[in-house]
């Protein structure tokens, strides 16, 4: 059942990303083009997501455990360190260059466009490379 639930949640997320137009890299890049054809719609999508998330956390975290698991799995790391800042910077630069982030690129795979497949391939390669580097730095914790 958890896999079906995860699939349905992913389907809902991907549908929302597609309906909002965020699978179109030109739309995303226009948000970052303050001096040109600026498009504020990404800000509205983010604000809507933030509002839903804030309300959702308050609602979902009320019971002592989720319906389909024995406990909540929430992030435990709270430090704002060089790794977090560096990762956020790399993410932002990549998003600004390509117009894709993982949340928009995965649903965009359904368009069959080669640039999307190339981005997702590079994304996977980056994840694997990062895991390999971290595994070398901390043996046994890859």
Q: For 5-19, what is each residue's pLDDT tens digit?
A: 889 999 999 999 899
Residue 84 is assigned to a structural domain of this protein: yes
Alpha carbons 122 and 42: distance in angstroms, whole number: 24
Domain of 18, in residue numbers? 2-137
Q: For 41-67, what is each residue's pLDDT tens digit?
A: 989 989 999 999 999 999 999 999 988
Nearest residue to 103 (alpha-carbon basis) of 14, 39, 3: 14
Residue 9 is assigned to a structural domain of this protein: yes
Residue 142 is assigned to a structural domain of this protein: no
pTM of full prediction above 0.85: no
Residue 62 is assigned to a structural domain of this protein: yes
What is the domain count for the chain?
Answer: 1
Residue 80 in tokens: 């704002």
């Amino acid at each position: 059942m958890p896999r079906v639930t995860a699939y349905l949640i992913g389907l809902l997320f991907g549908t929302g990303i597609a309906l909002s137009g965020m699978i179109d890299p030109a739309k995303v890049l226009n948000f970052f083009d303050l001096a040109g054809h600026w498009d504020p719609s990404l800000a509205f999508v983010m604000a809507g997501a933030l509002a839903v998330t804030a309300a959702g956390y308050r609602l979902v975290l009320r019971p002592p455990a989720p319906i389909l698991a024995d406990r909540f799995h929430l992030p435990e790391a709270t430090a704002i360190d060089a790794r977090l800042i560096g990762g956020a910077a790399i993410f932002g630069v990549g998003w600004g260059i390509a117009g894709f982030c993982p949340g928009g690129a995965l649903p965009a795979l359904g368009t069959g466009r080669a640039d999307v497949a190339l981005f997702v391939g590079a994304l996977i390669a980056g994840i694997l490379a990062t895991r390999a580097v971290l595994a070398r730095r901390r043996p046994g914790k890859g």
